Amino acid sequence: MKAAVYRGPHNIKLEEAPEPEVKSSSVLVHFGAGSICGTDMHFYRGDWRWMRKGMIIGHDAWGTREDTGERVVMVPIVNCGHCYFCLRGLPTYCVRGKFYGLTRDGFFAESKAMLPRSLIPIPEGMSNEEAAVVEPVALALRVINYMKPNLGDWVTIIGQGAIGLLMTQVAQLKGCRVIAVDLEDYRLELSQKYGADVVINAKNEDVAKTVRKLTKIGSDLVIEAAGNRATVEQTPYLVRKAGKVALVGESKGLLNLEDADEASFFTIYISPVEYPSAVELIARKLVDVKGLITHRFKFDEFEKALQTVDKPGEKALKAIIVTQ
């Protein structure tokens, strides 16, 4: 079978790979479509060198079960259910866990052996394209739920790529007032479309001053979804005292906490728990993922897809890979 294999920075190509071994506890799933995530691009650009060479990438995809013919979303995290972290409701950190596309071969392959419990049936009202973009919705749900916002809270979301735009949508569903921050007007226009109360182009405005002026005391919640050190270091100047800051895109940086009294800063990652809710939100059209898809490629155009997403001039938000 063909699969997208990581060989090093700027060297991810389709190669022949062994067919998956289907054990009695697993089922074979044939790839339908998937989306390229920011994590995949970090590997492609060489930002993160810990990826094992020879691994198949991809962790956001759906496929068709060979045994039933059913369309299913593939959940990338498999946990044991009984280790220290699993028993405390933290399956992401399972000591025996697998994370497909990061620690185990991922989904960008023509077929994949999966445990049935890691497969979520796709509702009839959910299109194939929508089913290819579930992971960032699950992440947005995890982040916003973890922060426990109150109705009317100010939420400042730095970065309005696909993940940031979905954070904006979910925060709106929770009754928050959203301040969307980005460097690109075309992204901020989408932020407004998805209900952001205020948009700030960081090239034209002092973000900290504008946020303080709007909120009076600072933002109740701040989400860093841009993925760079400068925006991480900006977060203490945006959050109110005793507020909360989620570092989603990046966690490296030096934080000046002099005036961020009692504010909580934390990293947060995806969990399998939110996947069923994410599928339901998409199927019920409560969040829009289809509007984020800017590029579509066939499976044999995988290398071209990565090259395209890597070019800022292409203005790629979400690129999806389809079988045909």
Residue 250's pLDDT is what?
85
Residue labelled with tokens 């060979």: 66
What is the rounded CA–CA span in Å between residue 118 and residue 100? 11
Segment 284-301 shows an average pLDDT of: 97
- pLDDT tens for 201-235 read 999 999 999 999 999 999 999 999 998 999 999 99
CA dihedral sign of residues 16, 46, 292, 314: negative
First to last CA, the chain: 16
DSSP-assigned letters across all residues of 206-219: -HHHHHHHHHSS-E
Q: Which of 142, 102, 170 is nearest to 246 (CA)?
A: 142
Segment 121-139 shows an average pLDDT of: 97
- pLDDT tens for 150-182 read 999 999 999 999 999 999 999 999 999 999 999
Residue 212's pLDDT is what?
97
* Contacts of 50 by beta carbon, 8 Å cutoff, 6+ apart: none
Residue 31's pLDDT is what?
98
% of the chain residues with pLDDT over 70: 100
Segment 288-306 shows an average pLDDT of: 96
Q: How many alpha carbons lie under 13 Å from residue 240 in its C-beta half-sphere?
A: 17
What is the rounded CA–CA span in Å between residue 120 and residue 73? 5
Segment 86-102 shows an average pLDDT of: 95
% of the chain residues with pLDDT over 90: 93
**Mean pLDDT of all residues belonging to the chain:** 96
What is the rounded CA–CA span in Å between residue 315 and residue 134? 21
Residue 231's pLDDT is what?
97
Residue 63's pLDDT is what?
98
What is the rounded CA–CA span in Å between residue 125 and residue 127? 6
What is the rounded CA–CA span in Å between residue 125 and residue 282? 9
Residue 50's pLDDT is what?
77
Segment 90-114 shows an average pLDDT of: 95
Residue 34's pLDDT band (boundaries 50, 70, 90)? very high
Rg (CA), the chain: 20
**Cα 259–263–266 angle (5° rounding)?**
125
What is the rounded CA–CA span in Å between residue 33 and residue 319? 11
Helix (DSSP H) and strand (DSSP E) numbers for the chain: 9, 17
What is the rounded CA–CA span in Å between residue 275 and residue 134? 7
- pLDDT tens for 49-73 read 778 899 999 999 999 999 999 999 9
Residue 276's pLDDT is what?
97
In this structure, are residues 198 and 215 in contact, taking their beta carbons and an 8 Å threshold? no
Distances, alpha carbon 110 to alpha carbons 1, 4, 30, 105, 128, in Å: 6, 9, 6, 12, 16
Segment 275-301 shows an average pLDDT of: 97
pLDDT above 80 (res 324): no
Amino acid at 116: P
- pLDDT tens for 191-203 read 999 999 999 999 9
Structure tokens at 177: 């007032």
Q: How many CB atoms lie within 10 A of CB 53?
A: 9
CA dihedral sign of residues 230, 214, 136, 4: negative
pTM of the model: 0.96
Residue 46's pLDDT band (boundaries 50, 70, 90)? confident
Domains and CATH numbers, the chain: 2-134+289-322 (3.90.180.10), 137-267 (3.40.50.720)
Amino acid at 50: W
Residue 251's pLDDT is what?
87
pLDDT above 80 (res 48): no
